[in-house]
Structure 1
Amino acid sequence: MRRRPGGELRDRLRQRDPGFRLVRRAARLTVVASLVFYGCRYGLGNVTLATYALFGTVATGSFAQLPGPAAVRARTLLAAVPVAWALVAVGTVLAVSTAAASAGMLVIGFAVAFAGVGGPRLVGLANALQLFYILACFPPYQPETLPARLGGVTLGVALVALAEVTLWPDPAPVSFARRLAAAAAGLADLVDALADVLVARPGAAEDAAHRHDRAAQLLDEVRMARLPVTARPISAGRRDRAWRDAAGAAQEVLAVAESLASRPDVTGSGDADLAAALRRSAASLRRSAEVAVRRPGTPAGDGPEPVRPLPPSWRAADPARLRVEAAVRALADQVWTHATAVGIATGPRGRRAARPPEAGADRFWYAGRSAWSLYRQQFRAHLTPRSVYLEGAVRLAVALAAARVIAGVVNLQHGFWVLLATLSLMRASASDTRTTLRPALVGTLAGGAAGGLLLLVSPERQAYAALLPLALVLAFGVGPLLGLGWAQALLTLLLIVVFAQLNPSSWQLAGARVVDVAIGAVVGVLAGLLLWPRGSGSDLRRNAGAYLAASGRAAERIVEALAGRADARPAVAAARRAEALATSSFVQYHAERDDPRLSHVEWDRVLAAGHRAGYGGQALLADRRPGALAPWPGPAAALVARATRLSDGYADVGRQVTRGRVDRAPPPAEPDGDIARQVHAMVRDGEDRPEVLSLVEVDGWLTDLDRHLRGVSGSGPPR
């Protein structure tokens, strides 16, 4: 049976536009833009009001890419209105001269772009906010029109916000919380299967392997590089920090589970006590999954329970059982961290979850901090030339300021279009920007030719008024579906249709559009060639290498702190800063074209090795006070020596990563003796303090770090 042509068209459209989001947005934008433009231009007869109402609509309806469901996006747009007022006012005042407007463009261009450090909402608003200043900073210098300009912007933004929730609202996207809840449920199934492995249930090993693959697949869905930009919890606020910690702890649960499952003597090595401990951890993961999908801000109950005391049977355990015991306890620690972080992310502001009675360093230092202090800290961390956020902000600000200078000096008729082209076509690397040049120019030329022909055939304003809804649908609905060339062609046609109604126009308007886009694109290419032309590639190598070295140092200091020899806090803080830079570089790298020079490094493994050192070590330090290993100086000294060798290995691999190729595995950081056997001997000789098992836990963690580090060089098992 043949399908109807309409069904085939819908299928093709669904493939290009899942959920019909572009179609919905184009429909909303067409309705609102037509309404405000017709009402202001023809109903009120106010050209300035019509111009700013239309561009306020287009800026927030098309250029803004905001996260969350429709109601959240609407609130974000309304909250941005005062910022838009300020940018329009500053642009209106600085339009007095080219020099003032260009200097303002440099400062505001950087400030607005760099504000994206604060989170996805600020990233999504950046281009729209840039447009408000860009439009206002061009002649004619008319400060007396400021009330009309602000009124137009307010009208446009308010109607877009209203349309978001009333006109064909988009289906709510899959939130990070739901993705993480699914991953936690998958981990719970894996941990239950490991409990069956411990008690040697028939078929448990195969079941655990299958559940491991499923859990790893679900956890892959919460990696930052795999998420849409608007779904990443990257803001400096308390909730997003807690979500990141919850995801990090979930990754650690998987890593410890992998380590536990890879032990050759694990099957049948446990008893009912250890199996019950694993099942309690699985139940806690499932509770966390339920809490994660609750509405944020609702009560979370009494919070997760701390790790339970060891069963009395541990004193009779052999070395193999001690290793399993330590791994189970480490897994329970990470489950508690995950549950606590989820509680902070979903709980009311200022809520602090209960901590274990023997807590050490505070993993959740941010829970009681003000939003202002958290954002200030995040911005300060990225005020470095190693930050891709800083580089991108400087690159864009210089390009926009240069384009404003050219437009003012040459006295272009529609200089606004020059900056619009630079903003729209510029990418994070010179090569990516160059790839946009040809289709953009061809598309603009085609659109300009069609618009010029239209101006020659029908110069009457009424014709363009009738064409406006069609031009809006084509520019914002059809163009993005067909590619950059079509998008530029149809946007050019739309701008000609709009400006033909604002002022008397001739066919030369089409030529001006082509020239302006060409100038703006060339400015963007030159800025990309002069300022960090390789994009995030070199930053990724440098920052990932520094992250490995900092993680190795942190691991060494953590073991020294547990042995009572050092303060680990400075090294841990340095590793956190290095992680932020490396992660942002990695995320930016995935947004660019593949660089063959970076294909020699498994970047996921690099970040996993750093993550295991940082998060695993912080969990050990959080639940044990500094000096916890000091009562047993011999084994503690052996662990410190091993941690030092591992730190050297991390630094060595970090230097190789910085060069862009890892072709040499570091020397193995073999233990100085069998720690588990030493602990077993001490227990047999009368040692009855449960804290002695921490020696085995630290030893297991260091073994896992060595495994992850070898995975980076390809000589170890994949993560």
Structure 2
Amino acid sequence: MHKAAEAPPASAVTGTATARRTAILRRAVRVALAASAGFYTCLYGFDEPVLALYALFAPISLGLLSTIPGSGRQRAEVMLKALPVGLALVALGTALAVHTWAAVLGMLVVGFLLAFAAVAGPRPAGAAPALQLFYILACFPPYDPGALGLRLAGLTVGVLALVLCELFVLPDPPDRPTYRAALAEALRTARAAITGDLALTPQELREAGARLRLSGVAPAQRPAGPGRAMRGMAQAGTATRRLLEQLAHLTERGELRALARTEGQGADGTDRALRSLLPQVTTLLDETVTALRTGRAAPPSHRMDAAIEDFQRIRVRQAAGPADQVPPADVLRRQALLLSIAESVRTLEISVRVGLDGRRREPIEPPVLFWYAYSGIPLLWWRRIHGNLTPRSVQFHNALRIAVALAAARLVAGSLDLAHGFWVLLTVLTLSRTTVGETWAAIRRAVLGNLLGAVAAGALLIGLGRHTDAYAAVLAPAMLVAFSVGPLLGIAWAQGLFTLVVSSAFAQITPASWQLAEVRIVDVVTGSAIGLLCGLFAWPAGARAEVRRTMAGLLRECGPLIKGTVGMLAAVPPGSVPPPSTLPALHRLRLAEAAYAQFRSEPGGGGRGGADWQAVLMTAHHVFLGAQWLPRFDLPVTALPASAADREQARARALAETTDRLAALCAGEPPPPRPSRPPAEPPPGRPAPALVDLDTWLRGLAAQLARNESHLPDALRRSAHARSGGGGE
């Protein structure tokens, strides 16, 4: 018996903490070395303060204040790609520094575009703060277009120095395990559960799927980009989790064991259809695991399509044959369950194939599910950008919040003529969080750290006076300590030690007194206040409210899909009604997934006592997949009996009303009355495979929706009933 997953042992926790400390120390050495080399060379070798300032802040911005994921080689590649963008932003900031309002408007546009770059994946999102800082540093007075060459040269020196350090000085190894390896392991688990090689509990199967959540995968390994390969691997992960959820549900009902027993039976008997498809499913899983491990995609094959079609033909012949040869109801139900498993395996195999080679392909059935496989790169980017340009996107929220905060900070710093106003915007950028509570907590610790750091910096400036050689001796060790101890001990230490670093650096560029530390405190407090006010007025709850709204919108789109799918199958003649459009549901699904991902990253997100939003997403996937494979593989040859068609349409309407009710509860709106439940028992007479498959899909949806509603927290129910005047259900 496979053991259930337990809490990680103390040794694993200790090993993770040690690895984190090691990574922080390595990064501190690389950034301190790159910043020191550029700063000292430019200031004391070439006697160019402007050159030295940009050579100093470029490595700090890209290496410390940004979080570019991946190995040293991967980060170096991102930094080199970011360099031309950084040079353009420095040139733009230098030109717009002529007027405060020009710089403010530029900050608003640049701030939004760079923050919105998070839709392109973790690496562009990681480099965005550094690019913000390149514009910020250049857009402050003095307005000096003649210094543009020195600024660009300094930035180039700093970035290239950091790139060399990332490649050759204590480079970080690639993240392990890769997403491909995690997918392969999950598919091995699914294969073992289907064949009965391992007796896995439902909890173990769900935990195997949960390990594929992007929040638990190293950022550099997440398939989050808009390209075909990334979309394919992301869809493969979703399909794998859906398959494991199906297997967990079948295990709970005791039906998975019956499927596993079928594979070892003889060739005759009523399970002949099952034995024709089950080996194909396990073989395809084995081949997909091999492809993931080797990284080589198998050539396109329609074998599973042919196997499913043959499976359906066998079932139709059995159902139309002599009465004594018609399979019993339990066999027909197992056939329906195997069909849904086979379609999930087919979906994930195609997704893996597209994800491994990323090449543009001919349309794959169903085209709406694999639309990205035959789409050009510009269309893929447009779909990603356009899909998030909506007030219902958390990526849009975050980009607009940070852009407004930075623009406001630039306006205040410019209007009040704050010395070193750059620090005001740096504070906004580094302390802003997605919720106002988290922002306030970060600000409290940061201001305390800066106060203590300012006292220490003031004492340092008074003690050393104008001895620049002493500051030069202090700067490199101070950076090494600040960049290593600060991240290890928390934001207060990081801010306090960083105050010492900037004081030591600026004291070498221009004569400075203890008032420099005072200026930094004023700037940090100003930036903190601006960031807190923007967080208070712009989506202060983070993704908490948005995840409820997007889940409600997703559920409302599920109802028409359920009714439309059943209506197509029950139409007379079959197929005379077009299939329902799945694009609105797909759009809502992407927004809901993004909101849920951010919600889980926020403090308290997904904790005990909250709604099980992951279950809602899985229910939506169940609706979406059924709307694809039922019309494709279960469209009746002849019209369904009128009584059966009416019964199934009534069940579909009841489920659609249930999704509307659940959507209202998620949104905190007055819920409609509970729908009356039509009879779920199949009508008497010879069962048809199409009816059995449809019945299985609807039963599964009913069970999942009931579970979703039972897991809603009481707070949502109370809010909904309060809006309805306290009435009953």
> TM range, normalised to the smaller chain?
0.7 to 0.9
Q: CA deviation at 1:508?
A: 0.8
Give distance in 1, aligned partners of 2:239 and 2:496.
48
Q: CA deviation at 1:697?
A: 1.8
Between 66-75 and 259-268, the greater mean CA deviation after superposition: 259-268
- Matched letter for residue 112 of structure 1: L
Query: 358, 378, 381: which one pairs with 1:372?
Result: 378
- Name 1:327's counterpart in structure 2: 337
- Flag the 1:408–1:671 CA change in 2: closer, same or farther, 3 A: same
- Name 1:686's counterpart in structure 2: none
Q: How does 1:317-716 map to 2 (within 5 A)?
A: 317-351=327-361, 359-459=365-465, 460-563=467-570, 564=575, 566-570=577-581, 572-594=582-604, 599-621=609-631, 623=633, 630=639, 634-659=643-668, 666-667=674-675, 669-671=677-679, 673-674=681-682, 678=685, 681=686, 693-714=689-710
Q: Percent identity?
A: 34
- Flag the 1:11–1:180 CA change in 2: closer, same or farther, 3 A: closer
- Name 1:209's counterpart in structure 2: 200
Between 324-333 and 275-284, the greater mean CA deviation after superposition: 275-284
- Name 2:164's counterpart in structure 1: 162
Q: How does 1:115-154 map to 2 (within 5 A)?
A: 115-154=117-156
Give distance in 2, aligned partners of 1:621 and 1:77.
48
Q: Deviations over 1:153-172 (max 9, x none)?
A: 22222232232222211121
SS across alignment from 2:455: helix
Q: How does 1:97-112 map to 2 (within 5 A)?
A: 97-112=99-114
Q: CA deviation at 1:88?
A: 0.8
Give distance in 2, aligned partners of 1:615 and 1:255.
13
Query: 170, 175, 180: which one pairs with 2:178?
Result: 175
- Name 1:255's counterpart in structure 2: 245
- Name 2:288's counterpart in structure 1: 288
* Contact map agreement 2:390 2:396 (CA 8 A) in 1: yes
User: Does residue 94 of the first structure (1) align with residue 101 of the second (2)?
Assistant: no
**What is the TM-score when the length of structure 2 is the normalising length?**
0.86
* Contact map agreement 1:299 1:347 (CA 8 A) in 2: yes
SS across alignment from 2:710: coil
Give distance in 2, aligned partners of 1:527 and 1:629.
62
* Contact map agreement 1:562 1:628 (CA 8 A) in 2: no
Q: CA deviation at 1:183?
A: 1.0
Q: CA deviation at 1:143?
A: 0.8
Q: CA deviation at 1:99?
A: 1.0
- Flag the 1:509–1:20 CA change in 2: closer, same or farther, 3 A: same
Give distance in 1, aligned partners of 2:253 and 2:391.
44
- Flag the 1:591–1:144 CA change in 2: closer, same or farther, 3 A: same
User: Does residue 233 of the first structure (1) align with residue 223 of the second (2)?
Assistant: yes
Give distance in 2, aligned partners of 1:660 and 1:45.
67
Give distance in 1, aligned partners of 2:368 and 2:555.
23
- Matched letter for residue 261 of structure 1: T
- Matched letter for residue 478 of structure 1: V
- Flag the 1:638–1:482 CA change in 2: closer, same or farther, 3 A: same
Q: Deviations over 1:452-472 (max 9, x none)?
A: 100111121111111222111
Give distance in 1, aligned partners of 2:358 and 2:255.
45
In structure 2, list runs of 5 or more residues that go unmatched: 1-9, 267-271, 320-324, 713-729
Q: CA deviation at 1:579?
A: 1.0
* Contact map agreement 2:94 2:138 (CA 8 A) in 1: yes
Q: CA deviation at 1:596?
A: 10
Q: How does 1:257-276 map to 2 (within 5 A)?
A: 257-263=247-253, 270=262, 271-272=265-266, 273=272, 274=274
**What is the TM-score when the length of structure 1 is the normalising length?**
0.88
Give distance in 1, aligned partners of 2:155 and 2:456.
30
- Name 1:199's counterpart in structure 2: none
- Matched letter for residue 209 of structure 1: L
* Contact map agreement 1:187 1:282 (CA 8 A) in 2: no
In structure 1, list runs of 5 or more residues that go unmatched: 1-7, 197-206, 683-691
Give distance in 2, aligned partners of 1:622 and 1:338.
17
Q: CA deviation at 1:630?
A: 4.5
